[in-house]
Structure 1
Amino acid sequence: MLDDFVEQMLTPVTHDLGGFKVHRTLPHKARTMVGPFLFFDQMGPAHLEVGGGIDVRPHPHINLSTVTYLFDGAILHRDSLGTEARIAPGAVNLMTAGRGIVHSERSPGDERAAGPMLSGIQTWLAMPETVEEIDPAFEHVAAARLPVIEAPGVRARVIMGSLWGATAPTTTHAGTIYADIALEPGASVPIDAAADERAVYLAMGEATLEGVPLEPRRLYVLRPGIAATLRSVRGGRAMLCGGDAFATPRHVWWNFVSSRRERIVEAKRAWAASEFPKVPGDEKEWIDIPDVPNTVSYP
C-alpha cells in the first residue's frame, strides 16, 4: 500500500499564466517544506505562440535561493548584480537572494522567433538563519558539469547534493538532494533513505513506487528511513528532492521568505519605496507589490 512508504501526497494548485500553466505542489496547506524546498513549480510543457514568450518582469527576493532547471526551451535571466545568463535544458541557474536581489526571466529573442518551448521545474530553497543575510549571488552550472548516473534504461542527473555516489558542484547552503531521473520502459532506480526528508515528483510519463502507480504532478513525500524503488513500464521522467529537515519554520509573503516576520515587513516597505537595486538592461519594467499576493502565504 502507498501509505506504507509515503507520508503525504501533495496535489498541485494550477495557475494559467496565458499560454502555459504552472503546477505548484509546494507550499501546500498540508505541508510547507521538504528539506530546504519550500516552493516546487512545474512550468509547462507548452509551445508558445510565434513572437511570444514568457516575460517575468523584475521583482525582488530575500533570504532564499531559486533553482531553475529546464527540460525544454530556454530562459534569459538578468539580475541586479549585472548577471545575464541563458539557461538551456539540463543546466542549473542558482540565484541566492541573501539580503536582497532583483531579477527578471524572459524568453530569448531567437526562441520567440520560432515560437518558444517551455518545460521545466523551478524551486525555492530556504536558507539557514546563519546565512539568510549573506551577499546575493548567482551561479550557472552547465549540463556538462553535472554528474549523470547511467544504468540500463536509466539516466539520472544529480542537480544538487550527493546521490548514487556522485556529487554535483552546485552550491548548497543546507543539506540538499535534487535529481532529474529519466526512465526508459522497464527501467528502475533505487531511492535510498539517507536524507531526513525526501519527495518524488512524476513530471511526465508513467512510473510506480514500490509497484504503486504514481499520478503525474503530485509530490509524494516519503516516510523517513524507508528505501524504495522507482520503476517505469512505459517510460517516465521524475524528480527527487529533499534534504535536511529545518528545525524552524519559514514565513512566506509574495516573493519574500525569511525566518523572521519583521524582515518580510521591511522588504515589503523597501520594494514599495524603490530601495532595491535595479536590473541592468531591464530597468524600465517591474512588478508592483500586490495588495494580496496570488502565491500561498504562511504562517
Structure 2
Amino acid sequence: MLDLIIDARPAALAPGFAVKRILPYRLRRMLGPFIFMDHAGPVQVAPAQMPNLDVLPHPHIGLSTVSYLFGGQVTHRDSLGVEQIIRPGEVNWMTAGSGIAHSERFEDPAALAGGALEMLQTWVALPEADEEQAPTFRNYQPTELPIFTDNGVWMRLIAGEAFGLNNGVETHSPLFYLHVVLQTGARFGLPRGYPERGAYVAKGSVEVNGRVYTPGQLLVFTPGLDPVLIAREPSTLMLLGGEPLGERFIWWNFVSSRRERIEQAKADWQAGRILLPPNDNQEFVPLPSDRTRAAGTGSPPPQALS
C-alpha cells in the first residue's frame, strides 16, 4: 500500500523563517516530475524582522517553480520584469527553462499578523525537450482553478488533471497537484492513471490501512493500488505525482538531465550571465561554496525557498 513515508526535515532559510523540507529525500529524490517540496510557516515574527525573511534574487534552470499559499502574501519579482503579489488560492508558476532569476519579498506587515504566512513551494522538473526553453511566468487566479466539493470534502486542482478535472495551468508533462481539505471522518482516494502518487499531510491527521499519519509526512503509495485516506480530524492534504521523467541532477537551485549543464549554470551565475530582476537588482544570493558535485545522489547545498 505504502512504498515509503517521508518525514519532513527542518531547514532554516532565515532567522525566524523555518521550513519543512520534504523533497528531495535520500531514498526518494522525485515523485513523478516533482523534485522539490518545502512547507513554510506558519511564520510568526515581529514586523521589524520582515526584511530578514526576504528571499533575495537567485537563479534557476531546468524546472518550474510552483508557489501556493495557505495564508499571507508574497511579492515575486523576476528577470523578465514581472512583479506579482501572490495571495492564498492563487498559483505562481514560473518556468526557468534556460535560466531566470527571481526574488520573493515579504513587504506587507499584515501578511505576517498572527502567524498568517504559510506557503508551499514545489519544483517540477522539465522534460529534456523543454529544459532549454525561454523562461516564462504566469499567475493563475482562484477563478481559474476548479473546485470540487462533496460530503466533508473540499478540493482545488492546482495543476494537471485529476478526478475528471483540468485547468489552464500550463504544464510540460502528465502530473497532478491538489489542495484537499477533509472534515472528520471523510474518506478520499488518489487520482488514477499515474504511476507515482503521494499525499502530504499539511494539517490534521489521516488514517490509511489502519495506521495514522500526521503533519509533515509525505505518503508515497505503491503503483496500481487504490488506497483510501480517512480523516481522523479536520485535515489538509496536498496530493501530487505524475509520470516520472528519468534521472535528474540537482545542485542548489539548478536541475538538469545533464551534469555538465549544472556546471554551466554555476559559471553563468558567477559571471552575471543570468540577469537579475530589473526592479530588484541591488543584492543577490551568491553561488554557495561548491563542496559537492552535481549528482543524482548525495546532498546538494541548501536550496532557496523558490
Structure-to-structure mapping, 1:59-138, within 5 angstroms:
59-111=58-110, 114=113, 117-138=116-137
Check if 1:10 corresponds to 2:6. yes
Q: Distance in 2 between matches of 1:112 and 1:11?
A: 28
SS of 2:129 mapped into structure 1: helix
* 1:110 positional shift: 4.9
Q: Distance in 2 between matches of 1:111 and 1:260?
A: 43
Q: Distance in 2 between matches of 1:55 and 1:146?
A: 28
Check if 1:150 corresponds to 2:149. yes
Give per-residue Cα distances to partners, 1:192-245, cap 9 Å, x unaligned.
Answer: 432110011100112122342113211111000111112213110011000002
> Which residue in 2 is equivalent to 1:253?
251
Q: Distance in 1 between matches of 2:288 and 2:5?
A: 30
Gapped regions of structure 2 (runs ≥ 5): 298-306
* 1:184 positional shift: 1.3
* 1:164 positional shift: 1.6
* RMSD after superposition: 1.8
Q: Distance in 2 between matches of 1:151 and 1:92?
A: 23
Could you tell which deviates more after superposition, 225-234 or 35-44?
Answer: 225-234
Q: Distance in 1 between matches of 2:213 and 2:129?
A: 37
TM superposition score normalised by structure 2: 0.91
* 1:112 positional shift: 6.1
Cα 1:181/1:113, change in 2 over 3 Å: closer
Cα 1:116/1:190, change in 2 over 3 Å: closer
* 1:40 positional shift: 0.9
> Which residue in 2 is equivalent to 1:44?
41
Q: Distance in 2 between matches of 1:125 and 1:108?
A: 27
Does the CA contact (< 8 Å) of 2:178 and 2:240 recur in 1? yes
Aligned partner letter, 2:55? V
Give per-residue Cα distances to partners, 1:9-46, cap 9 Å, x unaligned.
Answer: 11222112321311111111101110000001111112
> Which residue in 1 is equivalent to 2:207?
208
Q: Distance in 2 between matches of 1:228 and 1:111?
A: 40
* 1:91 positional shift: 0.9
Identity of aligned residues (%): 40
Give per-residue Cα distances to partners, 1:162-200, cap 9 Å, x unaligned.
Answer: 112111221110111000100112222222432110011
1:28 alignment partner, one of 10, 25, 28: 25
Q: Distance in 1 between matches of 2:258 and 2:112?
A: 44
TM superposition score normalised by structure 1: 0.93
Cα 1:234/1:215, change in 2 over 3 Å: closer
Does the CA contact (< 8 Å) of 1:107 and 1:116 recur in 2? no
* 1:264 positional shift: 0.7
Q: Distance in 1 between matches of 2:160 and 2:291?
A: 32
Structure-to-structure mapping, 1:186-201, within 5 angstroms:
186-201=185-200
Gapped regions of structure 1 (runs ≥ 5): none
Cα 1:114/1:176, change in 2 over 3 Å: same
Runs of 4+ in 1 over 6 A off after TM superposition: none
Kindly tell me the number of residue pairs found equivalent between the two proteins.
293
Does the CA contact (< 8 Å) of 1:11 and 1:217 recur in 2? yes
* 1:290 positional shift: 0.7
Could you tell which deviates more after superposition, 103-112 or 129-138?
Answer: 103-112
Does the CA contact (< 8 Å) of 1:253 and 1:293 recur in 2? no
* 1:297 positional shift: 6.2
Does the CA contact (< 8 Å) of 1:207 and 1:235 recur in 2? no
* 1:114 positional shift: 4.8
Does the CA contact (< 8 Å) of 2:20 and 2:39 recur in 1? yes
